Amino acid sequence: MRSETVTQSAPAAAGALRAAVDRVSRELAAHPARLSDRGAAEEELGRLRVLAAGEPPDVARLRGSLLLVAAALGSVSALGAALEELRQAVDAFGSGTRPPHSGAG
């Protein structure tokens, strides 16, 4: 098992992440405005969907994908609640921090 701090059970957290990714994807698809970074956000949401299916997902990659989605869509106020749900779903996997490697040996 990894050394990350997990705040929800893995199946519950993965389910919440899948639901959040689906919500953002649905709301983005329904958003009528032309968004210059829509393609990048859709691609990253696809990556998040794949990561959510992994056991357990790599928290650092989840956070990186969240950052890219937020950067692409964060200025769209209509997607704010869905993006917040996505952030909370990623946070449910914990900090993703690991003890530093001493390098001695």
Q: Can you give the pLDDT at residue 12?
A: 87
pLDDT digits (tens, 9 = 90+) for 58-79: 889 999 999 999 999 988 999 9
The encoded tokens of residue 9 equal: 């059970």
Q: Is the pLDDT of residue 102 over 70?
A: no
Domain that holds residue 33: 10-91
Round to whole Å and give the CA distance between 92 and 105: 34
Q: Can you give the pLDDT at residue 95?
A: 66
96 found inside a domain: no
61 found inside a domain: yes
80 found inside a domain: yes
4 found inside a domain: no
* Mean local confidence (pLDDT), 1-22: 74
Q: Can you give the pLDDT at residue 8?
A: 60
The total number of structural domains that make up the chain: 1
57 found inside a domain: yes
Residue with structure tokens 């937020």? 70
**pTM reported for the whole predicted model:** 0.81
